[in-house]
Amino acid sequence: GENVEQHPSTLSVQEGDSAVIKCTYSDSASNYFPWYKQELGKRPQLIIDIRSNVGEKKDQRIAVTLNKTAKHFSLHITETQPEDSAVYFCAATPSNDYKLSFGAGTTVTVRA
């Protein structure tokens, strides 16, 4: 099955700086890569996703990049704000699978 590794496990950034979270996956057949944000005590919520036919996707201050050759993908948050403080999870799945494989999560803290 798919194995997803996520780094770093914790990340502290100054407000206004950028944050980058990296994930690697093992199954070369994986073609869907979502990112979820989970605020303290809340449900995980999808913030952005990318499919293998696209190398980069942006949504306002958030962007995701995918390198299929190296089997890694990254989340970039620019101009961080206090409300970006949360746990972020990456995930991956092959097209013929009914389930997602999640990374262990990154706790992001934005310092004012």
Partner 1 sequence: NAGVTQTPKFQVLKTGQSMTLQCAQDMNHNSMYWYRQDPGMGLRLIYYSASEGTTDKGEVPNGYNVSRLNKREFSLRLESAAPSQTSVYFCASSIFGGNQPQHFGDGTRLSIL
Q: Where do contacts with partner 1 occur on this chain (CB under 8 A)?
A: 6, 9, 31-32, 34, 42-46, 49, 51, 89, 93-95, 97-100, 102-105
By beta-carbon proximity to partner 1, the closer residue of 1 and 14 is 1
Least distance in angstroms from the C-beta of 96 to partner 1: 9
By beta-carbon proximity to partner 1, the closer residue of 12 and 81 is 12
Least distance in angstroms from the C-beta of 95 to partner 1: 6
Half-sphere exposure of 85 (CA within 13 A, CB side): 13
Determine contact, residues 78/18, Cβ cutoff 8 Å: yes
Least distance in angstroms from the C-beta of 11 to partner 1: 15
What's 91's DSSP letter?
E
Contacting residues for 47 by C-beta, under 8 A, at least 6 apart: 35, 36, 37, 59, 62, 88
